[in-house]
Amino acid sequence: MKKYFFLLLTLTAISLGHAQNPTCACFIRGIVKDQHSGQPVVGATVLLIGKNTGVFTDDKGRYEIRNLCPGTYQLEARIVGYSAYKQTIDLTAGHEENFNLQEQEVHLKDVEITAHRTDAPSSQPLTILSGNDLEQTRGQALGESLKGITGVTAMQTGSSISKPVIHGLHSNRVLIMNNGVRQEGQQWGSEHAPEIDPFVATRMSVIKGAAGVRYGSDAIGGVILVEPEELPFNKTLSGEVNLVGFSNGRQGVASSTLQGGVKGFSGFAWRAQGTIKRGGNIRTSNYFLDNTGISEKNFSVGAGYRKKGFGIDLFYSRFDTKIGIFSGSHIGSVTDLLNVIKNGEPFVKSGFSYKIGRPNQNVTHDLLKAETHYHFKDGNRLQWTIAQQINNRNEYDLHVPRNDSIASLNHPELTFKLHTLTNDVIWDHKPIAGKISGQIGVSTLYQYNLMTGRPLIPNFNQFNIGIFWIERYVKNDWEFEAGARYDYRTLNTHRIVSRKKVSNDFTFSNGSGTIGATRNFSPNLSARLNAGTAWRAPNVSELFSDGVHHGAAAFEKGDSTLHSEKALNTIASVKYASEKLTIEIGGYYNYIKDFIYLKPQPDPILTVRGAFPYFKYTQTDASFKGIDVSAAWQFVKNLTITSKLSYLRAYDKRNDSYLVMIPANRLDNQLKYELPELGKWHNLYFSAGNLWVTHQKRVPPASDFLPPPAAYSLWNIQAGGTIHVSEKQQLEVRISVTNLFNTVYRDYMNRFRYYADDIGRNASLRIKWKFGA
């Protein structure tokens, strides 16, 4: 499991002026060091946020960014294996003349950087959502927030349930690391969204491609890292309040954080955070969707202690949501479904309401984590993380039981209780000859599931142990990485068949490997290549499903003889970053052996609700290949155009056919105008953009009730800025409108596309008040 490696880095920022150019000849330079070892950090990226300027640190950890105009800049240091660090640097401060005319030190500051390691494989593309990009998504669900990342889309059930999709893979094929702990909910369900409050995180990162060695099973399509900021050790009280309002659903979100140290107890820090969200019926372009409200109450508390090389962190979070499911999506039979498709819009009409009735989901997720680490004097480091998660999911059907006395109890028709205990011990060995670093880890997972209500999945106990070893070798402009892992898993299931308990035992084992290289050709140009494997054992729903999936009007049957699926992913990317232009091009080929999917069967299954199309969990060999391109070009001063292309082709190799539920290709363009300063405002921006999603033509023939929807194009606008209220207080304001022209559209990856249009115009206002340090 992921761990925190709290490291202090020292960054010195010096800004100097040159005489040649009176306006834009400032530069920032400094050194990036690993404070624990005191060694310079080679190959770290130092970026000016929003300027598309970035450089790498040289072999002595030094960097220099030239030709800067006076102004306020946000400097970010990113180091592979560490989290990004940000610092605002004021290059104006009334010194314009001075530093424009002569070489003079106008800004010198020692900045303590506290970063935690992400442990992402260095040769795999890692996309980080933080800063303004993250702030612009505040108030949205996790899956929605990540949609702006190239290669990442979302699988939706209406507008309130959203699951991240990386390179066409989702659910049990995408692993989410929540604050260093693998998120264990009922991930197998397509309408089971990740139980995470995005406000906990100050950055979300996506590792694309198989990363099974470091993260264990399920990391087939990629890994999402949800990370809070490092606790504020040795800092004073600070905090923030976020208020978000959405016009669609008349949704309001309030979230606040308070954090600080404790006087007289140095080395101690704490943080408390909470979020409340409430929304009503969502409106498509032309009509409301009945019962699509949401209510969410989340909080988290954390505390930590540091002394010399020793550190301990405790964290507890609770996620509590109640989500209404569009009542028009309940269908009893295939006839019902065909009727609503024919009608073109839902039969159930509704106005606006905040009421959440049946059908609905009530989900709570508790996470308790303790992590401790110790840096040995010789450079070795040991870390131990334990975490317990309790996922409690209650699903209420549209209809209460006919029997009044049972109905009055208002019990959920489905209840899942999943308890998970994870344990990770990781040893980072001391660097060998200053060139080789590595880590060895043991991860265990113990899990049990209790299910009541309508039989859907069995109760089970699961135990997993994984051992991994990764080494990294850095020489000059090259960085090599190789690793291996072995996992062993037992699964015991218990279910009722014909009123008798039937137990089954399974064991799975798997070896994974990764090998990769990074080459920095110049401070502007770098390339990465990685080949990695990952695996996933069939989950209980794939083994034991046996019934009608009412959302999909399909009879789904599991197969208890399924074996593990294994992915071999090759991913290559080239990145060019200069002051005015940033381009990143990545290509991937993910070959998944024994890919588990629902295969249509020739004969339907007869039930009392009529005949349903019959699907059986089957294995095939599948390939997912695609290209991600992102480019940002500042073609005129302050004006930047950003383009992101996600292109994917998935194929069923064994049956020479396409696969279902593969996201359509998409192109996202944004034009952004930035004003560093205007009156009281700082970092002002205005942007307009378009998202174009193509028609998914590549689907297996006759596999669906409705062909994939047509291509669509959505426009959006944003604006925002910061006001410095006082030295220690600032106010950030952002407004945006998505689906500006209230376009009618349906998305192939939205499971409600059979019943209703997708969400209509949505205007939002985000206010963030930051105070303290």
**Binding stretches for another protein (CB under 8 A):** 305, 307, 310, 312, 330-333, 335-336, 347, 370, 372, 374, 384, 386, 388, 397-399, 401-404, 406, 413, 419, 421, 423, 446, 448-450, 452-455, 458-461, 492, 494-499, 501, 503, 546-548, 555, 557, 605-610
Residues in CB range of 135: below 8 A, 6 or more apart: 720, 732, 734, 766, 768
DSSP classification of residue 283: B
Three-state DSSP class for residue 100: helix
| Identity of the residue, 312 or 733, whose beta carbon is nearer to another protein in the bound complex | 312
Residue 555 or residue 685: which is nearer to another protein going by CB?
555
Q: Report the residue number, 71 or 357, with the smaller CB distance to another protein.
A: 357
Q: Are 132 and 627 in contact (CB under 8 A)?
A: no
Q: Token match 């135990």: residue?
A: 463
Angstrom distance (rounded) from CA 89 to CA 74: 6
In the complex, the smallest distance separating the C-beta of residue 621 from another protein, rounded to whole angstroms, is 28
Query: Helix or strand or coil: residue 406?
Result: helix
Residue type, 318: R
DSSP-derived 3-state class of residue 338:
helix
Among 558, 555, 557, smallest CA distance to 607 is for: 555
CA 396 to CA 400: how far, in whole Å? 8
Closest distance between another protein and the C-beta of residue 292, in Å? 18
Q: What are φ and ψ of residue 95, in 5° steps? A: -110, 15
Q: How far is the CB of 208 from another protein (least distance, A)?
A: 33
Instruction: Give the residue with the Cβ less far from another protein, 606 or 678.
Output: 606
The closest of 187, 183, 184 to 172, measured between CA atoms, is 187
Cβ proximity to another protein: between 15 and 449 the closer is 449
Closer of 343 and 713 to another protein (Cβ): 343
Closer CB to another protein, 87 or 490, in the complex: 490
CB of 449 to another protein, least distance (A): 6
Closest separation in Å from C-beta 185 to another protein: 16
Contacts of residue 757, defined as CB under 8 A and 6 or more positions apart, other chains included, come to 284, 285, 286, 287, 345, 744, 745, 746
Closest separation between CB of residue 562 and another protein, Å? Answer: 17
> 13 or 181, CB closer to another protein?
181
Nearest approach, Cβ of 423 to another protein (angstroms)? 8
Q: How far is the CB of 394 from another protein (least distance, A)?
A: 14
Name the residue nearer to another protein (CB basis): 557 or 695: 557
Residue at 338: amino acid letter:
L
Instruction: Report in angstroms how near the CB of residue 503 gets to another protein at its nearest.
Output: 6
Which is closer to another protein, CB of 506 or CB of 588?
506
| Core vs surface per residue 42-68: b (16+ CB within 10 A) or e | bbbbbbbbbbbbbbbbeeebbbebeeb
Residue 172 CB, shortest distance to another protein, in Å, is 19
Burial state string for 574-610 with b = 16 or more CB within 10 A and e = fewer than 16: bbbbbbebbbbbbebebbbbbbbbbbbeeeebeeeee
**Which residues contact residue 342 at a Cβ distance below 8 angstroms, ignoring those fewer than 6 apart?**
none
In contact, 293 and 310? CB cutoff 8 Å: no
N- to C-terminal Cα distance for the chain? 31
Q: Which is nearer to another protein, 445 or 622 (CB)?
A: 445
Residue 70 C-beta: closest distance to another protein, Å: 48
What's the CA gap between 603 and 611, in Å, rounded?
9
